[in-house]
């Protein structure tokens, strides 16, 4: 008797549940279209979850792209720009056109390195601590501290410390221009420049912040405007407020006159893109 | 006898080697330097603005900078001479850049006119002193304190006239005079109690007139017995025994910190992010009390400061130095620095800040210059032993701060009440892995402050 009752109750529950599942499947709306699409998109993303786009991981980015494909231009995925094949697939799926040379960027540490110090720093070995506790241990308030906070956040291992010059160096070939190091640097001396920039300027010293006792480093910008005057193509714009040069790379013809004019060796440099270009020109000749 | 009350500490105090090598040395008056550099921000609150120009001649005690803001204290010239230039200096404590004025001495020591109402050094007529104090109104006292630029000299440099004028909804029933001086090496407060005991007690009487508390405690650690005896005699002599209670505290670091001192004496806990006045208590340092006396009775502004110069130096001394004297000048007066010293620290060994530039001046908050040989310690990983948790006088969990700052989670630290940390350094002292915990905490605090604007 008991056994029969149990079987009846259990099968009744099973039948009711089965009907419920059928009804839900029949009448509730189907799986949202956007979820399916974002899954599709996420396959074509690099999947490194670096977070450079501003979203928590590649899937969240894919969801945002599914909602509005123009997100790609406002919050660009930096690593995919380095992979032409993947980028093509993504372009096809999103139905957009991307010119990687226009948005592709890379980070540059705007410090020559080896600037003079005011004392030995033996505190916590991070740039942030050195800045917050001592305003840095270098005379220049814009000098790279070389303790490697940026190195720790770089998802591509593009940053290394040059022990000899006491400065961090970013490998332009590995850098994807994600900008995480720019946010991390407590001194704000890492800058994103167009990847095809042909001139690199290696100082961030603004003349406004002149402090006795930590005047300036002997290798920094003198604010002499010589480079500005030497340029014949109007590619150098003088920023009066900060008293440092800014470059318009579209007008630059790689003549190198600003480099010759600069009284400091190596402050203005040709980037490795330009160096390659120049080598090609020489080869053709 | 019998007016001294003994009390045990309310927290697990850290026993440090005292090293108070200058405790028996009488304060020397430092000769006036050739030039002084006076920074414009020497107190908590709004920075001051110049009221003198370049090439102006100033007298000692003349006001050179003031602010219209309520929470601020004016700044006075500490020597007479010519304003030669206006420069910028980096404040090593907050690592901010501030303006400073350089005054070149004319060697004449001309002072502004000081109206002395009473001469406490010569006269023993203390009832006359009390009459004078009682005749000055509360507003008048606070105005005089502000005009003299008196700030809390225990280290926090909070403007005293603000502290002594609590909002009306806060009832203050307890006043504590802090003479603990729990940090090793420092003896400036100790010497002030011994040499300026009369001024300190008279200053305390003036302070107690402004806030009319029920209880007035004078708290001194039991390792300074001579100071306790000296003040005890003076209290009886000056007939203050009915209002002042002398408390001898068991020594242990950080007894002199405001919050732990209140907990020990009154048993009350200051709320998180609150001030002592939230629990009805006001704490003042002995040096502040002396300055209050000088401000109100002698109308003399705060232009000098007892500074202990100690550590690995030939002649450690207590010096009465003018505000703006460079640290290097102080060190030069104390003989040769021992070989192998590589640290100059402003403040004590526990909470002090090492400076790299001996041109930095003595400010109102400076009470010690410590010259020290320091070994570079290699930071190792936290082993979660919990010694820092055990010793923390504020009952915090310092190891969580280190862990979160290393990961960059500054906001998480607030969930663990990082603003309650008094930065006493006990945790870093006991840490077996040599982790500079206070450095991490300070980094976190200033990053949070910057992020929140």
Co-location of A93 and A136 in the same domain: no
Judging contacts by C-beta atoms under 8 Å, the chain A residues touching residue B89 are 211-213
Contact B439 A131 (CB under 8 A): no
Tokens representing A21 are: 């599942």
pLDDT score recorded for residue B296: 92
Domain that holds residue A204: 105-284
Residues A178 and A155: their CA atoms lie apart, in Å, by 9
Contact B357 A135 (CB under 8 A): no
Judging contacts by C-beta atoms under 8 Å, the chain A residues touching residue B379 are 124-125
A33-43 and A58-67 helices, crossing angle to 10°: 130
Q: Is the pLDDT of residue A206 over 80?
A: no
Q: Is residue A14 included in any domain, yes or no?
A: no
Judging contacts by C-beta atoms under 8 Å, the chain A residues touching residue B443 are 124, 126, 128-129, 132-133
Q: Is residue A162 included in any domain, yes or no?
A: yes
Q: DSSP states of A207-252 as a string?
A: TT---TTS---TTS-----HHHHH-SSS-EEEETTTTEEEE-TTT-
Report which secondary-structure segment, H or E, holds B88.
strand B81-90
Co-location of A88 and A119 in the same domain: no
Pick A219 or A193 by higher pLDDT.
A193
Q: Is the pLDDT of residue B403 over 50?
A: yes
- Nearest Cα neighbor of A217 from A227, A236, A203, A231 is A203
pLDDT digit string (tens) for B180-229?
988 999 999 999 999 999 999 999 999 998 888 999 999 999 889 999 99
Q: What is the number of domains present in chain A?
A: 2
Q: Which residues of A82-104 are buried (b: 16+ CB within 10 A; e: fewer)?
A: beeebbeebeebbeeebeeeeeb
**Partner residue opposite B442 with nearest CB, options A133, A209, A210:** A133
User: How many angstroms separate the CA of residue A211 from the nearest CA in chain B?
Assistant: 6
For residue A210, name the pLDDT band (cuts at 50, 70, 90).
low
Is residue A169 less than 8 Å (CB to CB) from chain B? no
Query: Taking a contact as any Cβ pair under 8 Å apart, which residues of chain A between 136 and 165 contact chain B?
Result: 137
Co-location of A212 and A160 in the same domain: yes
For residue B88, name the pLDDT band (cuts at 50, 70, 90).
confident
- Residue that finishes a domain, picked among A56, A78, A103: A103
Supply the mean pLDDT for chain A.
Answer: 82
For residue A209, name the pLDDT band (cuts at 50, 70, 90).
low
Q: Are B166 and B200 in contact (CB under 8 A)?
A: no
pLDDT score recorded for residue B190: 93
Say what the alpha-carbon torsion angle A34, A35, A40, A46 is, to the nearest 10 degrees. 110
Q: Is the pLDDT of residue A255 over 60?
A: yes
Q: How many CB atoms lie within 10 A of CB B99?
A: 17
Contact A135 B97 (CB under 8 A): yes
Q: Is residue A136 included in any domain, yes or no?
A: yes
Q: Is residue A29 included in any domain, yes or no?
A: no
Instruction: For residue B28, give the 3-state DSSP assignment.
Output: strand
pLDDT score recorded for residue B193: 93
Q: Which chain A residue is nearest to residue B436, measuring alpha carbons?
A: A124
Mean pLDDT lowest among A37-46, B145-154, B258-267? A37-46
Co-location of A65 and A172 in the same domain: no
% residues pLDDT > 70 (chain B): 99
Mean pLDDT lowest among A217-226, B70-79, B102-111, B350-359? A217-226
Tokens representing B238 are: 């000056």
Is residue B451 less than 8 Å (CB to CB) from chain A? no
Q: What is the DSSP letter of B159?
A: B
Averaged pLDDT for residues B134-143: 90
Tokens representing B253 are: 């670091």
Residue A70 burial class via C-beta count within 10 angstroms: exposed 0-12, middle 13-18, buried 19 and up: exposed
Residue A281 neighbours by CB under 8 Å, 6+ apart: none
User: How many angstroms separate the CA of residue B251 from the nearest CA in chain A?
Assistant: 30
Q: Which residues pair with B270 in a beta bridge?
A: none
Tokens representing B404 are: 């979160």
pLDDT score recorded for residue B76: 93
Residue B108 neighbours by CB under 8 Å, 6+ apart: B80
Q: Is residue A139 included in any domain, yes or no?
A: yes
Judging contacts by C-beta atoms under 8 Å, the chain B residues touching residue A124 are 379, 436, 439-440, 443
Tokens representing A158 are: 């593009």
Q: Give alpha helix (H) positions in B56-178.
A: 126-135, 138-147, 160-163
Co-location of A157 and A118 in the same domain: yes
Candidate ranges A162-166, B156-160, B449-453; pick with highest mean pLDDT: B156-160
Q: DSSP states of B349-361 as a string?
A: TTT-EEES-TTPB
3-state SS of chain B: helix, strand, coil percent to 5? 30, 20, 50
Residue B97 burial class via C-beta count within 10 angstroms: exposed 0-12, middle 13-18, buried 19 and up: middle
Q: Is the pLDDT of residue B166 over 70?
A: yes
Co-location of A258 and A208 in the same domain: yes
Residues B236 and A246: their CA atoms lie apart, in Å, by 75
Averaged pLDDT for residues A241-253: 80
- Nearest Cα neighbor of B441 from B386, B416, A127 is B416
Co-location of A126 and A181 in the same domain: yes
Tokens representing A198 are: 């042909």
Q: Is residue A16 included in any domain, yes or no?
A: no
User: How many angstroms separate the CA of residue B34 from the nearest CA in chain A?
Assistant: 19
Contact A133 B439 (CB under 8 A): yes
Is residue B439 less than 8 Å (CB to CB) from chain A? yes
Q: DSSP states of A91-129 as a string?
A: HHHHT----HHHH-EEEEE---S---BSS---S-SSHHH
- Residue that finishes a domain, picked among A85, A103, A121: A103
- Could you please state the CATH topology (level 3) that the domain comprising B4-23+114-297 is classified under: Rossmann fold (3.40.50)
Is residue A118 less than 8 Å (CB to CB) from chain B? yes
Q: Are B310 and B368 in contact (CB under 8 A)?
A: yes
Averaged pLDDT for residues A125-130: 87
- Nearest Cα neighbor of A201 from A109, A119, A131, A125 is A109
Q: Is residue A155 included in any domain, yes or no?
A: yes
Q: Is the pLDDT of residue B230 over 50?
A: yes
Instruction: For residue A78, give the 3-state DSSP assignment.
Output: coil
Residue at token pair 């508390």: B213
Q: Is the CA virtual torsion A196, A201, A203, A206 positive or negative?
A: negative
Q: Is the pLDDT of residue B349 over 70?
A: yes
Query: Taking a contact as any Cβ pair under 8 Å apart, which residues of chain B between 370 and 389 contact chain A?
Result: 374, 376, 379
- Read off the CATH number of the domain in which A57 is found: 1.10.15
Judging contacts by C-beta atoms under 8 Å, the chain B residues touching residue A209 are 97
- CATH of B304-373, picked from 3.10.20.600, 3.40.50.10090, 3.40.50.920, 3.30.930.10, is 3.10.20.600
Instruction: For residue B300, give the 3-state DSSP assignment.
Output: coil
Contact B447 A132 (CB under 8 A): yes
Co-location of A160 and A42 in the same domain: no
Judging contacts by C-beta atoms under 8 Å, the chain A residues touching residue B376 are 122
Q: Is the pLDDT of residue B343 over 60?
A: yes
pLDDT score recorded for residue A12: 97
User: How many angstroms separate the CA of residue B373 from the nearest CA in chain A?
Assistant: 13
* Distance from chain centroid for Cα B300: 19
Find the angle CA(B250)-CA(B251)-CA(B253) to the nearest 5 degrees.
130
Report which secondary-structure segment, H or E, holds B426.
helix B426-430
Number of H helices, E strands in chain B: 14, 18
Residues B186 and B223: their CA atoms lie apart, in Å, by 13
pLDDT digit string (tens) for A51-98?
878 888 888 888 888 888 888 888 888 888 878 888 888 888 888 887
Q: Is the pLDDT of residue B64 over 60?
A: yes
Contact B439 A123 (CB under 8 A): yes
Q: Checking DSSP bridges between strand B304-311 and strand B174-179, what pairing results, if any?
A: unpaired
Q: Is the pLDDT of residue A42 over 70?
A: yes
Judging contacts by C-beta atoms under 8 Å, the chain B residues touching residue A213 are 89-90, 357, 359
* Distance from chain centroid for Cα B194: 17
Q: Which chain B residue is nearest to residue A136, measuring alpha carbons?
A: B95
Find the angle CA(B410)-CA(B412)-CA(B418) to the nearest 5 degrees.
80
- Residue that finishes a domain, picked among A47, A77, A103: A103
Q: Are A85 and A100 in contact (CB under 8 A)?
A: no
% residues pLDDT > 70 (chain A): 95
Judging contacts by C-beta atoms under 8 Å, the chain A residues touching residue B87 are 212
Instruction: For residue A193, give the 3-state DSSP assignment.
Output: strand
Co-location of A152 and A268 in the same domain: yes
Contact B95 A128 (CB under 8 A): no
User: How many angstroms separate the CA of residue B259 from the nearest CA in chain A?
Assistant: 24
Co-location of A94 and A114 in the same domain: no
pLDDT score recorded for residue B1: 43
Q: What is the ipTM of this complex?
A: 0.73
Q: Which chain A residue is nearest to residue B446, measuring alpha carbons?
A: A132
Contact A213 B95 (CB under 8 A): no
Q: What are the sequence ranges of the domains in chain B?
A: 4-23+114-297, 30-105, 304-373, 387-451
Residues A13 and A9: their CA atoms lie apart, in Å, by 6
3-state SS of chain A: helix, strand, coil percent to 5? 40, 10, 50
Q: Is residue A153 included in any domain, yes or no?
A: yes
Is residue A174 less than 8 Å (CB to CB) from chain B? no
Q: Which residues pair with B285 in a beta bridge?
A: B178
Is residue A250 less than 8 Å (CB to CB) from chain B? no
Q: What is the DSSP letter of B5?
A: E
Residues B208 and A248: their CA atoms lie apart, in Å, by 69
Q: Is the pLDDT of residue B378 over 90?
A: no
pLDDT score recorded for residue B80: 92
Among B39, B86, B94, B95, which would you mutate to test the A interface (most chain A Cβ atoms within 10 Å of its Cβ)?
B95
Judging contacts by C-beta atoms under 8 Å, the chain B residues touching residue A134 are 92, 95, 356
Is residue A211 less than 8 Å (CB to CB) from chain B? yes
Co-location of A275 and A175 in the same domain: yes
Contact B376 A119 (CB under 8 A): no
Contact A124 B359 (CB under 8 A): no
Residues A220 and A245: their CA atoms lie apart, in Å, by 13
Is residue B156 less than 8 Å (CB to CB) from chain A? no
Q: Give alpha helix (H) positions in A48-95.
A: 58-67, 71-74, 84-94
Q: Which residues of A18-46 are buried (b: 16+ CB within 10 A; e: fewer)?
A: eeeeeeeeeeeeeeeeeeebbeebbebbb
Supply the mean pLDDT for chain B.
Answer: 89
Averaged pLDDT for residues A36-64: 85
pLDDT score recorded for residue A208: 56
Residues B81 and B79: their CA atoms lie apart, in Å, by 6
For residue B440, name the pLDDT band (cuts at 50, 70, 90).
very high
For residue B273, name the pLDDT band (cuts at 50, 70, 90).
confident
Residue B15 neighbours by CB under 8 Å, 6+ apart: B252, B253
Q: Which chain A residue is nearest to residue B449, measuring alpha carbons?
A: A132
Q: Are A72 and A45 in contact (CB under 8 A)?
A: no
Contact A133 B95 (CB under 8 A): yes
């Amino acid at each position: 008797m008991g056994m029969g009752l149990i079987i009846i109750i259990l099968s009744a529950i099973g039948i009711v549940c089965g009907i419920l599942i059928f009804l839900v499947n029949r009448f509730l709306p189907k799986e949202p279209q956007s979820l399916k699409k974002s899954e599709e998109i996420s396959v074509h993303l690099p999947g490194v979850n670096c977070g450079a786009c501003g979203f928590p991981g590649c899937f969240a980015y894919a969801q945002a792209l599914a909602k509005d494909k123009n997100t790609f231009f406002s919050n660009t995925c930096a690593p995919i720009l380095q992979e032409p094949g993947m980028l093509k697939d993504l372009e096809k799926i999103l139905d957009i056109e991307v010119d990687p040379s226009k948005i592709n960027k890379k980070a540059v540490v705007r410090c020559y390195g080896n600037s003079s110090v005011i004392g030995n720093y033996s505190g916590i070995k991070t740039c942030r601590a050195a800045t917050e506790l001592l305003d840095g241990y270098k005379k220049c308030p814009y000098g790279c501290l070389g303790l490697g906070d940026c190195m720790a956040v770089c998802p591509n291992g593009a940053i290394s410390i040059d022990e000899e010059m006491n400065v961090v160096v970013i490998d332009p070939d590995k850098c994807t221009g994600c900008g995480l190091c720019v946010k991390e640097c407590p001194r704000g001396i890492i800058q994103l420049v167009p990847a095809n920039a042909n001139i690199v300027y290696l100082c961030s010293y603004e003349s406004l912040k002149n402090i006795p006792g930590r005047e300036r480093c002997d290798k920094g910008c003198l604010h002499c405007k010589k480079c500005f005057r030497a340029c014949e193509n109007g590619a150098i714009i003088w920023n009066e407020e900060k008293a440092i040069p800014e470059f318009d790379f579209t007008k630059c013809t790689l003549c190198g006159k600003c480099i010759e004019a600069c009284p400091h060796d190596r402050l203005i440099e040709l980037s490795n893109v330009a160096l390659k270009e120049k080598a090609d020109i020489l080869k053709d000749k | 006898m019998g007016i001294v009350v003994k009390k045990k500490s309310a927290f697990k105090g850290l026993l440090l080697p005292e090293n108070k090598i200058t405790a028996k040395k009488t304060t020397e008056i430092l000769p006036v330097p050739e030039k002084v550099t006076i920074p414009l921000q020497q107190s908590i609150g709004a920075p001051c603005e110049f009221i003198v120009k370049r090439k102006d001649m100033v007298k000692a005690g003349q006001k050179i900078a003031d602010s219209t803001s309520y929470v601020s204290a004016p700044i006075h010239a500490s020597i007479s001479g010519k304003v030669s230039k206006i420069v910028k200096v980096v404040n090593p404590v907050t690592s901010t850049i501030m303006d400073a004025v350089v005054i070149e001495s004319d060697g004449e020591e001309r002072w502004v006119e000081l109206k002395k109402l009473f001469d406490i050094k010569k006269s023993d007529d203390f009832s006359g002193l009390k009459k004078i104090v009682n005749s000055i109104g509360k507003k008048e006292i606070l105005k005089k304190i502000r005009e003299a630029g008196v700030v809390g000299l225990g280290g926090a440099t909070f403007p005293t006239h603000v502290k002594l004028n609590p909002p009306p909804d806060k009832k203050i029933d307890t006043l504590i005079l802090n003479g603990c001086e729990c940090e090793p090496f420092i003896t400036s407060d100790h010497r002030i109690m011994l040499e300026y005991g009369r001024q300190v007690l008279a200053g305390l009487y003036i302070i107690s007139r402004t806030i009319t508390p029920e209880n007035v405690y004078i708290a001194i650690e039991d390792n300074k017995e001579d100071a306790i005896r000296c003040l005890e005699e003076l209290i009886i002599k000056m007939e203050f025994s009915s209002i002042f209670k002398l408390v001898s505290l068991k020594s242990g670091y950080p007894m002199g910190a405001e919050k732990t001192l209140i907990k020990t004496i009154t048993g009350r806990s200051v709320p998180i992010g609150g001030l002592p006045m939230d629990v009805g208590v006001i704490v003042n340092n002995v040096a502040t009390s002396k300055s209050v006396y000088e401000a109100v009775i002698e109308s003399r502004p705060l232009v000098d400061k007892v500074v202990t110069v100690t550590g690995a130096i030939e002649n450690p001394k207590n010096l009465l130095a003018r505000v703006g004297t460079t640290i290097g000048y102080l060190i030069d007066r104390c003989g040769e620095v021992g070989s192998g010293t590589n640290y100059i620290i402003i403040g004590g060994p526990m909470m002090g800040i090492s400076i790299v530039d001996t041109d930095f001046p003595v400010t109102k908050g400076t009470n010690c210059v410590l010259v020290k040989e320091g070994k570079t310690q290699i930071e190792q990983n936290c082993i979660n032993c919990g010694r820092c948790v055990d010793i923390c006088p504020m009952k915090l969990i310092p190891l969580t701060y280190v862990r979160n700052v290393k990961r960059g989670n500054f906001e998480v630290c607030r969930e663990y009440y990082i603003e309650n940390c008094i930065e006493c350094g006990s945790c870093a002292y006991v840490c077996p892995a040599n982790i500079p915990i206070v450095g991490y905490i300070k980094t976190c605090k200033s990053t949070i402050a910057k992020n929140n604007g």
